[in-house]
Structure 1
Amino acid sequence: MRRILKDELRNGKPCTGIMLQHLMLPEYIDFVRYGNPDWLLFDLEHTVENIKSVSNALWACLAYDIPAIARVRDKDEWMIEATLDAGFQGIVVPTVETAEEARKVVRAAKYTMNGDRSRGDRGWCPTMAPTRWLNDYSDEERWTDKENEKRWNRDTFVGIILETPKAFENLDEILQVEGIDAVWPGPGDLSMRMGKYMLDPEVQKILLDADVKATKAGKIVISAVTPENIRGHYDSGARMFLMLMQEIDFLTKIFKDGFEEIRGKIPG
């Protein structure tokens, strides 16, 4: 049985991950796994990479049993469906500003159940990735088990990013949308639109207030955090954390500190 991210979140486990932007390679997954991440976020929005070019890294996650989520480039239905069919356990969709946009995301990510397409309009194919990453169904079960689509809908992670003032104005309505598992009050774009830095107290207050509201509404809260601010987000209800330092930041620091330490031992 593979690890299912939503199972761990449903059981109340705080889950910490890191976003991959520049090094979505199987060799890098081999290094990252030593940190025992609860999940990894593949950034397919701010990158030149695409679903095909990161597929080997995705399969490395499957091999090491690390839940992999993708931040897609846009809200387009085909992009959401193709990303999930590739084998990601879920998606995070950027710049969702209204409840109607959130409902469109859900319809693109969820399978139709009992002929009801209002809450799911995703095309079904028995050979696609959910049959592999969820419960390792046998071929016979994959074709005949009528409960499979229900399980896939239950366990596929659907998150949205709130990163504009308009999104926060519509927060109450967005939080009522069924099928949205998680909201990510995004500090980057919001702070830029406000003309402030991500860790500015005013920005952080907006984010923390959104954490509280979303938690009360029964949504998982994703927070991009540093060691200095993670406790505030945890106390506000967040349980899904993304380290603000990305993979390239870790490598830059390692190389910089390493060279400085060696050179510091050279006399003169």
Structure 2
Amino acid sequence: MSLASRLRSGETLLSAWSALPEPLTIEAVARTAFDAVTLDMQHGGHDEQSVLYGLGLILALGKPPVVRIPVGRFDMASRALDFGAEAVIAPMINSVEDAERFAAAMKYPPVGERSWGPFRSNAGYGERGSNDYLTNANRETLAFAMIETRAAFEALDGILGVRGIDGVFVGPGDFSIAWSNGRESNPASDALVEPLTEIARKASAVGKLAGIYAPNPDFARRYNPLGYRFITVSHDTSYIQLGAKALVDAIKA
């Protein structure tokens, strides 16, 4: 089943977060127990080439690949899909206009304006000359609009109402900065529980998905019951550090 089908059926899926662009690191992360792998182009080291090669590795290992594009790079959203991504996360979607531009890049007509350019023959395009991918792509590739500012929160109803936006994805670090009026970056702040609950509730009410970045397992356990079912957990450099610490602590104990 695709990432989209599993999420819409009610599953909670945990995604690894890849910031390191080296292919061997991407492959190692894709071999873990995570359900999916997200490549980060916004704050991570990924560029178009590492996304192109990384998506192939992830697909070959049977995991659904996701890409977070840089701010405003809606052209890269289309390219990520052509390279084989099953979902794209777009940061700083602060208005209905932002959401409409993102959706246009993600969906084929008549929903959007995505240009036809299948690149990976093994990424679900179907037999050459068929319309299998064209028929299913708008439903089976997910557009997640990031909600991480007060402006985005205030425009949430309109963003969720944009045809072609499949869900919202919360960046709790930036959201905590915005919600505290610049006083702190604290995703664990109790002040965030009410607005983040509202985001998930509103998404569910209109039949759309809610995802969130979880810096740690406690955060994931806190927000999963509130309606967030696509959860990206920490990042690859943290996995290395935590694994090394566990080994060293075990030996010293």
Specify if TM > 0.5: yes
**CA deviation profile, 1:10-46 (whole Å, cap 9, x unmatched):** 2221111121112x33323443344332211100111
Instruction: Figure out how many residues of one structure are paired with residues of the other and give that number.
Output: 248
In the TM superposition, what is the alpha-carbon distance from 1:213 to its structure 2 partner? Answer: 1.5
**1:121 matched to which residue of 2?**
113
| Residue number among 226, 230, 248 corresponding to 1:259 in the alignment | 248
Matches within 5 A, 1:211-250: 211-225=200-214, 226-243=216-233, 245-250=234-239
Asked whether the equivalents of residues 185 and 223 of structure 1 are also in contact (C-alpha less than 8 Å), the reply is yes
Call closer, same or farther: CA 1:216–1:231 in 2, change over 3 Å.
farther
Q: CA RMSD in A?
A: 2.0
Looking at structure 1, the residues matched to 75 and 53 of structure 2 have their Cα atoms a distance apart, in angstroms, of 21
Asked whether the equivalents of residues 41 and 69 of structure 2 are also in contact (C-alpha less than 8 Å), the reply is yes
Asked whether the equivalents of residues 89 and 133 of structure 1 are also in contact (C-alpha less than 8 Å), the reply is no
| Residue number among 155, 160, 164 corresponding to 2:145 in the alignment | 160
In the TM superposition, what is the alpha-carbon distance from 1:106 to its structure 2 partner? Answer: 0.6
Asked whether the equivalents of residues 112 and 164 of structure 2 are also in contact (C-alpha less than 8 Å), the reply is no
Matches within 5 A, 1:83-98: 83-98=80-95
1:138 aligned onto 2:123: no
SS, match of residue 124 in structure 1? coil
The AA in structure 2 aligned to 1:68 is P
Looking at structure 2, the residues matched to 53 and 30 of structure 1 have their Cα atoms a distance apart, in angstroms, of 12
Looking at structure 2, the residues matched to 163 and 39 of structure 1 have their Cα atoms a distance apart, in angstroms, of 22
The AA in structure 1 aligned to 2:218 is E
- TM value normalised by structure 2: 0.89
The AA in structure 2 aligned to 1:100 is E
| Residue number among 199, 212, 236 corresponding to 1:210 in the alignment | 199
Looking at structure 1, the residues matched to 74 and 244 of structure 2 have their Cα atoms a distance apart, in angstroms, of 41
Asked whether the equivalents of residues 5 and 38 of structure 1 are also in contact (C-alpha less than 8 Å), the reply is no
Q: Which has the larger radius of gyration?
A: 1
Q: Please list every run of 5 or more consecutive structure 2 residues that lacks an aligned counterpart in the other structure.
A: none
Q: Please list every run of 5 or more consecutive structure 1 residues that lacks an aligned counterpart in the other structure.
A: 114-118
SS, match of residue 8 in structure 1? helix
- The percentage of aligned residue pairs carrying the same residue is 25
Looking at structure 1, the residues matched to 26 and 57 of structure 2 have their Cα atoms a distance apart, in angstroms, of 7
- TM value normalised by structure 1: 0.84
